A and B are shown apart, each in its own frame.
Chain A
Amino acid sequence: MAEAMSQNRKAAFSLARHSTGIIASILFLAPIVWTVLSTFKPAQEARQPPLPPWPTTGFSIENYETLNSFGDGLWASAQNSIYVSVMTVILSVLVSVLAGYGFSRFRFPFRDFFFVLILSTIMIPFQSILTPIFLVLTKLGLHNTLTGLVCVYVTLQLPFSIFMMRNAFDAVPREIEEAARMDGASNVTMLVKVMLPLVWPGVVTIALFAFLGAWNEFLAALVLMTDQSKFTLPVMMTALQSGRFGAIDWGAVQAGVTVMMVPCLILFLALQRFYIRGLMAGAVK
């Protein structure tokens, strides 16, 4: 009897838990799903309120096609975004792996000073130094170039990614290095052949954060890219949404938002483990 009651209570608890979980999940996922579904409506239907969210007058990719007709086109901005994000990933991984290794394995003058200097930049909001960054880029001839934007994004990633990599290298036992050195490995061979495979998870984490950071960044891109042909997706889509290209085409805006969201969602789902790792490392430091 008592057992049956506890069974019932357990079932009731489980039911309550799952209904809460499902309702909350729906609330969090609905805006994303709603947007993605309604992008496949024909343009005419996309102008109406999205009730229901799915296309009712036939499936169409018209919204994605019109998107390409504004300004330099969606594809041009998407290419800019891809270039900036990929370059940010490559450069920030390169620079932080080298620096992480240097900070972890060598003792040189000003080492602690440099490390603290790099980490302390996280305390200063980059929003407050955008104007001088603009002037520095102009001085370097990088004004209004995607390369200039990449340099800024890489610098913003450094405190997090160097901290991550320094810790990753610190976790590698020194005996492994000593053994490789006995075999006559040089510093560079050591780093690439021996160390890199061991710190690989850390590299994936910082690459993921670099990509998401660069792909989603808005204010710096808005300020630093003045030429429409250099717009990244967020800047381009905001220009479209503000009516810069005539009446606002909400179907096209949603198509653009989908293009901006989907890579982030896919990367997160595929690399969730590494993402949470990065968050934890940031959270427990």
Chain B
Amino acid sequence: MASITVASAPARTRTRTGVGRRQWIGLLYVAPAVALVVVFFVIPLGMTAWMSLNNWPLMGEHSFVGLDNYAAILHDTRFWNALKFTFYYTVVVTIAIFAVAFPLAIFIERPRPLTNLYRTAFFMPAVVGFASASLLWSWLLNVDSGLFSPAAFDLGLTEKKVNLLATFQPAFWSIIAMVVWKVAGFTMIILMTGLQSIPQDLQEAAVIDGAGPFARFRLITLPLMRRTLALALILSVAGSILAFDQFYIILRGGPRNQTLTAVYWIFNQSFVSFKLGYGAALSMVLLVILVALSLIQLWLLRKPEGLD
């Protein structure tokens, strides 16, 4: 398929006068898109960088403070804790998503009876928004009116109704379960495209050569899926680092602020404490992390040498 790089239009012979002028009209076609991106993306991006060098309250004058905000970040243990928690969450949830999504992708890869039905069923939670899913699970996880605690109590598994959201471990793993439920179908489809792109005769040749299923998976499936795996991995990692909805809606950052993520902390600083300049500096740190990830992505997704 086409890569992100721009494919230039084939050179056209100028058979008529005015062709050159007509090419300029293209600028008009792309102007609305460029204007939107400039006003709502490029300018805000520049402002973030500028604001991070200022003390910027919501009301009143802002003042230039140089790198003070960044210096303050160094001593902001709660931000570093939030970042640490975000990375921990990212690693755990990504492993969990892949552990569920990969077997599912293999399960639905080839067309067999009812495969389409199963695929649709697995994918359904992925089209529901994160906010809806979080609201739904905040009910399922509720100690009084929810499902899990009362059900466990009724079945005699626990002596009393356990509040799953009151302590860190059960609260954290509840979020992991919810995110895996919501995202696994999405990752499954991406992995499926990778599996389907592996030529069938390659696998058959390996069978004839006496390769067992495990060897085939390790020596054919995994290497040939490198780009798809990298894509699914990056999407999962980038999405998890930016996690906010589920921690805000289900846990409000609790218990005892132990599940504040990086975006949540920036949100608190900017829109609860209204320290806009400091929030901007925190945003710059997050931004650098995400851009670094994107660059790793581009490197991992590069076309394999000798192919294409």
Interface positions of A (Cβ within 8 A of B): 17-18, 20-21, 24-25, 27-29, 31-32, 34-35, 46-51, 94-96, 98-99, 101-109, 111-112, 114-119, 121, 123-133, 135-136, 140, 151-152, 154-155, 158, 162-163, 167, 170, 174, 187, 212, 215-219, 223, 234, 237-238, 241-242, 250, 253-254, 256-257, 260-261, 264-265, 267-269, 272, 275-276, 279-281, 283-285
Report whether B127 and A102 are in contact in the complex, using a CB–CB cutoff of 8 Å. no
Asked if residues B245 and A219 are in contact (CB atoms below 8 Å), the reply is: yes
Contact of A31 with B140 in the complex, beta carbons under 8 Å: yes
Interface membership of B307, Cβ < 8 A = no
The 7 closest A-B pairs by CB, nearest first: A106-B26, A216-B129, A102-B29, A49-B150, A132-B47, A132-B44, A234-B131
Q: List 14 A-B contacts (CB under 8 A).
A: A21-B114, A24-B122, A48-B145, A49-B144, A51-B151, A103-B26, A107-B26, A108-B26, A132-B48, A151-B39, A187-B25, A234-B131, A241-B135, A241-B249
Contacts of B219 in A (CB 8 A): none
Question: Does chain A have a CB within 8 A of B142?
Answer: yes
Residue B66 CB within 8 A of the other chain: no
B25 touches A106 (CB 8 A): yes
Of the stretches B167-175, B205-213, B264-272, the one at the interface is: B264-272
The residue from A101, A241, A283 contacting B231, defined by CB atoms under 8 A apart: A283
Q: Is B74 an interface residue (CB 8 A)?
A: no
A223 and B132 in contact (CB under 8 A), knowing A47-B145, A107-B9, A151-B36?
Answer: no
Binary flags per residue of B109-141, CB closer than 8 Å to A gives 1, else 0: 000101001101111110111111001111110
Could you tell me if B127 and A268 are in contact, using CB atoms closer than 8 angstroms?
yes
Q: Are A128 and B129 in contact (CB under 8 A)?
A: no
Complex contacts, A121 vs chain B, CB 8 Å: 37, 41
Out of A48, A167, A212, A284, name the residue touching B193 (CB < 8 Å). Answer: A284
Complex contacts, A127 vs chain B, CB 8 Å: 242, 244, 263, 266, 283, 286
Quote the shortest CB–CB distance from A149 to chain B (angstroms): 11
Give the tally of cross-chain contacts (CB within 8 A).
289
CA distance A121 to B34 in the complex (A): 11
A128 to B47, CA, bound (A): 11
Q: Which residue of A lies closest to B40 (CB)?
A: A155
Give min CB distance, B294 to chain A, whole Å.
Answer: 4
Given known A-B contacts A49-B150, A216-B129, A283-B193, A111 and B26 have beta carbons under 8 A apart: yes
Q: A35-B139, A219-B263, A283-B190 are in contact. Are A136 and B40 (CB under 8 A)?
A: yes
Contact with A265, one of B44, B124, B186 (Cβ below 8 angstroms):
B124
| Tier of interface size on chain B | 35 or more
Q: Tell me the B residues contacting A by CB distance below 8 Å.
A: 1-4, 6-10, 22-30, 32-34, 36-37, 39-45, 47-48, 51, 104, 107, 112, 114, 117-118, 120-125, 127-132, 135-140, 142, 144-147, 149-151, 154, 181, 184-186, 189-190, 193, 228, 231, 238, 242, 244-245, 248-249, 252, 263, 266-267, 270-271, 276, 279-280, 283-284, 286-287, 290-291, 294
Checking B8, B104, B128, B252 against A24 with a beta-carbon cut-off of 8 angstroms, the contacting residue is: B104
The SS class assigned to the A binding surface is helix
Chain A nearest Cβ from B63, distance in angstroms:
16
A128 to B48 Cα, complex, angstroms: 8
Tell me if B40 and A102 are in contact (CB < 8 A): no
Chain A residues near B283: list those with CB within 8 A.
127-129, 131
Given contacts A218-B131, A280-B193, contact A129 B286 (CB under 8 A): no
> Which residues in B have their C-beta under 8 angstroms from that of A170?
2, 7
Kindly list chain A residues whose C-beta atoms are within 8 Å of the C-beta of B125.
Answer: 28, 31-32
**Which A residues lie within 8 Å of B142 (CB)?**
250
Task: State whether A135 and B30 are in contact (beta carbons under 8 Å apart), knowing that A21-B114, A238-B135, A265-B124 are contacts in the complex.
Answer: no
Shortest CB distance A146–B (Å): 15
Q: Are B181 and A129 neighbours in the complex by a CB distance under 8 Å?
A: no
Once the chains bind, are B32 and A98 in contact (CB under 8 Å)?
yes
Which of the residues B1, B28, B147, B263 comes within 8 Å of A285, measured between beta carbons? B1
Partner of B136, one of A28, A31, A128: A31
Whether A50 contacts B147 in the complex (CB less than 8 A), given A28-B124, A237-B131, comes out as yes
Which of A167, A242, A279, A283 has most B Cβ within 10 Å? Answer: A283
The answer to whether residues A129 and B41 also contact, given A106-B23, A285-B2 and a CB cut-off of 8 A, is yes
Which residues of B are found within 8 Å of A250, using beta-carbon distances? 139, 142, 145
